Amino acid sequence: MAAGGLPHPLIYFNELNHALGLNVPIHVWYTWAVMAILFTLSLAVRGKLAMVPAGLQNFFEVVIGGLEDFVVANIGEKGRTVFPIMAVIFIFILGMNLTGLVPGCDAPTANVNTNAAMAVCVFLYYNYIGLKTHGAGYIHHFMGPVKALSPLMLVLETVSHLARPLSLTLRLFGNIRGEEIVLILLFTLAPVVGTLPMYFLFILAKVIQAFIFFMLTMIYLKGSLEHAH
């Protein structure tokens, strides 16, 4: 795929599309690839769970345990019920972001469609959790603390809630797409030598972006789990 009008030197799945005569978009292929990797890893870990963790299980226990501690410290014990979807979001987005650093691959999150899909999922999920926890009383979340101002606050809160998926989408898209463009530009200027130092910066930036998506999901879920002010 051309990132910002620049031709990408080589994309594996373009070749596969050619070979199979298919026309599946690149970001969909790479999303599937990341999903396949994650499924394989999780099945491999589940296959030989042990009381004394070793190898891969050790790694996943550290990652998921750390995330769970973070969620419970922020939301409280109720956070454990909604924790799985947040852990999946973090690991999945991290995987997709880091795909962009593999030579010949393109990050699926550098396409706005992938991000919009995930942001809409988060939006629907936290509203569903809010409705499930509070029932019809969930509307109080949109009314603000002052009764006289509640019609105005209803409009304001609706706009600000609808803005959430938009800001989630655009931040992730802008960051990852920008990084991909910088990588390709540097690669055309000075192959390998120019791109290598940027890898260290971008690994950090991509982890931060995945973490921010995860953290915002957590903040939204916290808002829909707790009582209206």
Residues near other proteins (CB under 8 A): 70, 73, 155-157, 159-160, 162-164, 166-167, 170-171, 204, 208, 211-212, 215-216, 219
CB of 105 to other proteins, least distance (A): 25
Provide the 3-class DSSP secondary structure of residue 204.
helix
Burial 115-139 (b: 16+ CB within 10 A, else e): bbebbeebbebbeebbeeebeeebe
Q: Which residues pair with 6 in a beta bridge?
A: 3
Which residue, 43 or 73, has its beta carbon nearer to other proteins? 73
Of 22 and 219, nearer to other proteins (C-beta) is: 219
Cβ atoms 108, 206 nearer than 8 A: no
Least Cβ distance, residue 163 to other proteins (angstroms): 4
Q: How far is the CB of 20 from other proteins (least distance, A)?
A: 39
CB of 46 to other proteins, least distance (A): 28
Shortest gap between Cβ of 209 and other proteins (angstroms)? 9
Nearer to other proteins, 8 or 161 (CB): 161
Residue closer to other proteins, measured from CB, 99 or 175: 175
Radius of gyration for the alpha carbons in the chain, expressed in angstroms and rounded: 21
Closest separation in Å from C-beta 185 to other proteins: 23
Residue-wise DSSP of 149-212: THHHHHHHHHHHHHHHHHHHHHHHHHHHHHHHHHHHHHHHHSTTTTHHHHHHHHHHHHHHHHHH
Q: Which is nearer to other proteins, 24 or 120 (CB)?
A: 120
Query: Does residue 6 sit in helix, strand or coil?
Result: strand
Q: Considering the complex, what minimum distance in angstroms separates the CB of residue 28 from other proteins?
A: 26
Cα 223–chain centre separation: 19
Candidates 186, 36, 31; CA nearest to 105 is 31
150: its two tokens: 């509640």
Cα gap 165→197, rounded to integer Å: 33
User: How many C-alpha atoms does 204 have within 13 Å on its Cβ side?
Assistant: 4
Residue with smaller CB distance to other proteins, 30 or 164: 164
Nearest residue (CB) to other proteins, 112 versus 170: 170
